Amino acid sequence: MQPLKEFLNSLALRLLGNFSGNVLNCVVTTSAHPPLLSRYRAQMIISRVRLVSALFAVLTPLWIAVDYLAFDYPLSLMLGIGRIATTAAFAALALAYQGSPHMRDAYRSLGIMFVIPTAFFIYSHQILSSFDNQGGAAIIAAGYAFLPFILVAGLSVFPLTALEGIVFSLPVLSSSALVATLHLDQMSWNTHIGAFWLLVLIAATATLAGMSQLALMAALVRQAHHDPLTHCFNRASGEEIFKLQFSIAERNGNPLTIIFIDLDNFKSVNDQYGHHLGDRVLIGAVDAIRGSLRGGDALVRWGGEEFLMVLPNTNYSSAIALLERLRGNGLGLRPDGNSVTASYGIAERTLDSADNSQLLIEIADQRMYQAKNSGKDRWVGCNETAHFATPHQTERGMPDDMALSSLS
């Protein structure tokens, strides 16, 4: 699998050289897809599968009249039975998976959509090869051979990665090769190879079209759901991500921790040094926070200098360890050379008995304000006690008894 991924990356780099590395990874495999992109892509794929299935559920039975006029009995009856079964399958698929945001459902629906006509293609060719059709019947029978070309061309309708395009086109290519092998006596090798090569070219072109759709979709999702200054998730998308993670954690019984962050005295930076330097301080703090996150974590710009860290599958003690590392590394420097500090509020789904995502947000928000009101540059967790990360704050003039009690 790894050599195949490397080959696809190199191919995409040659064909799409003006794209960034992140975009190339996005259109080759799904490993770099953020949850929001996966969710919107799943919904788009399913909606298009249902639309195409509904269209074929209407068009497929209409061809029964053509078969009846072109072919003699019992061939027309056998083809009609196959078309009725295909119509029923398409109709059932058109009604399935409505509104699902999961890629596994998207894969199932797309796979079923390709299996239905592929099965009819093999069935119809087996039947047609058993009869000696002449004249107009032979012309209509030859038209059945174009079904695989329609199928692989249909890949261009869906935003797929290169790897997905290969996976979904392989069954169609295999079925075409199988039919050609079973009927070698009816056509020359040159005819079969030429038709198969054309089918491969159409599949490659359709896959590239799907990759272009995916690249555009990824860019639009990122633009719509990320803060332009800090490149964090904006509040609207952050709330959506958090609700999704909360429902997943609730369903699986997993821990979920969030940390509300508010940079201390940030307004004074903008007032004294201007918004340009304020933006630099903000970006530096975000980079420091982002450096402490894992691949599955999310950072949301909640508003102004407020941020929300979403930590799936993270219990309270692990979140505290992450926060201590972050505060130990620091959040950068203010224009006057002093360290950037922040107040933090921590909440964990199970320890705080939060039965909905909004309640967990409110708990973390209240604790952040408690840390702010307790003197700033500290965090408040599930025991609702303000804590300092390091004892160096006593050197800034903080009373020793406050520092010692907060470290206990």
Q: Is the predicted pLDDT of residue 151 greater than 90, yes or no? A: no
pLDDT of residue 220: 85
Q: Is the predicted pLDDT of residue 371 greater than 90, yes or no? A: yes
Q: Is the predicted pLDDT of residue 22 greater than 80, yes or no? A: no
In the chain, what are the domains?
2-225 (no CATH), 235-407 (3.30.70.270)
More confident residue, 328 or 407: 328
CA distance 26 to 32: 6
CA distance 283 to 267: 15
DSSP string, 238-299: HHHHHHHHHHHHHHHT--EEEEEEEETTHHHHHHHH-HHHHHHHHHHHHHHHHHT--TT-EE
Q: Which parts of 75-232 fold into alpha helices (H)?
A: 75-94, 103-128, 136-143, 147-153, 162-182, 189-225
Say whether the peptide bond before residue 255 is cis (omega within 30 degrees of 0): no
Contact 345, 302 (CB under 8 A): no
Q: Vertex 64, ends 119 and 173: CA angle to 5°?
A: 25
CA distance 329 to 318: 17
- Kindly indicate the confidence band of residue 9, based on its pLDDT and cuts at 50, 70 and 90: low
Place of tokens 């130990």: 328
Q: Is the predicted pLDDT of residue 258 greater than 90, yes or no? A: yes
pLDDT of residue 141: 78
pLDDT of residue 400: 33
Per-residue model confidence as pLDDT tens digits over 43-73: 999 999 999 999 999 999 999 998 898 888 8
Top-confidence range, 84-93, 192-201, 393-402: 84-93
Q: Residues 219-234, buried b or exposed e (16+ Cβ, 10 A)?
A: eebbeebbbeebebbb
174: its two tokens: 């295999």
Q: Which of 54, 27, 14, 17 is nearest to 165 (CA)?
A: 27
- Kindly indicate the confidence band of residue 312, based on its pLDDT and cuts at 50, 70 and 90: very high
CA distance 333 to 152: 56
pLDDT of residue 170: 87
Backbone angles phi, psi at 73, to 5 degrees: -70, 140
Mean pLDDT estimate for the chain = 84
How many CB atoms sit inside 10 A of residue 360's CB? Answer: 22
Q: Is the predicted pLDDT of residue 234 greater than 70, yes or no? A: yes
pLDDT of residue 256: 95
Angle formed by the axes of helices 21-28 and 162-182, to 10°?
30
Per-residue model confidence as pLDDT tens digits over 133-143: 777 787 787 77
338: its two tokens: 């002093």
Question: In the Cβ-directed half-sphere of 303, how many Cα atoms lie within 13 Å?
Answer: 3
Q: Vertex 148, ends 147 and 152: CA angle to 5°?
A: 120
Per-residue model confidence as pLDDT tens digits over 298-307: 999 999 999 9
